[in-house]
Structure formats: structure tokens, C-alpha cells
Amino acid sequence: MTLEILATVAIAFCLLIGAIFSLVGSIGLLKFNDSMTRLHAPTKVGTVGVGALLLASLIHAYTFGEGSMHEVLIMAFLFVTAPISANFIAKVNIHRRSCVSPPSPPRDDTWSTLNVPQADLEIVESK
């Protein structure tokens, strides 16, 4: 098998995976009820779908053309901005109280710190 045949198979595989993920993401965007569950479809599944499509374009550009860095820049921009925009949309929904709020953290000094409760220290020291 030549390099062009292997590249064509890889391109077809990436296109198929990208199309399936994009289809699942768009169906999820339409079917989910509230905005917080609807948020997962384009940020998780859609990012993988578009990433696979861009990977197919990248393979095609380097195999059958001169090559291009545009796809790499688009993928980097997409993978950096999608989680940030999802975080902002989730924060807006939480502040508008249009969704169920996450539970409050416990009111002690060990939550999200490196302080260890005394009972846990005693367990570790007894071993």
C-alpha cells in the first residue's frame, strides 16, 4: 500500500468519525430540555467532531498538497475557546438561577485546601 492509499483511508475514517460526532452533538442540542444539559452537546461532542474533520483536512493538505497550518491553528483556537465559553454559559445560568444550583461546599477549613482533619491524621499515624 502506498502512502496516498493509507492517507485516503485515514481521511475517510476521520471524516466518518467527525460526521458522527457532529450529528450526535446537533441532535443533543435539539433534544435536551434545559440549557445546562444542552450545553454538553456542542462543547464536548461537537469539539471532537470538528476536531476530527479538521484532522482529515490536515492529512489531506499534507498528503495531496503543499500542506497548511490553518487547520492546526483552528484546532488550537477551538480547543482553547470551547471550554471557556462553556464555563461562561454555565456561570450565567447559575447566576440567573435558571438551573439547579450545585450544592454548597462544607463549612470547614479542609474543603479545597491542604488542611487534613485531625481524625484522618490519627488514622494515618496509627498505621
How do residues 8-53 score in pLDDT, each as one tens digit? 999 999 999 999 998 988 888 888 887 777 787 777 787 888 899 9
In this predicted model, which residue has the larger pLDDT, 90 or 2?
2
pTM of the complete model: 0.69
Q: Kindly list the domain boundaries of the chain, sorted by start residue.
A: 3-99
Average pLDDT over residues 76-101: 81
Percent of the chain with pLDDT over 70: 88
Continuous segment of H or E residues that includes residue 115: none
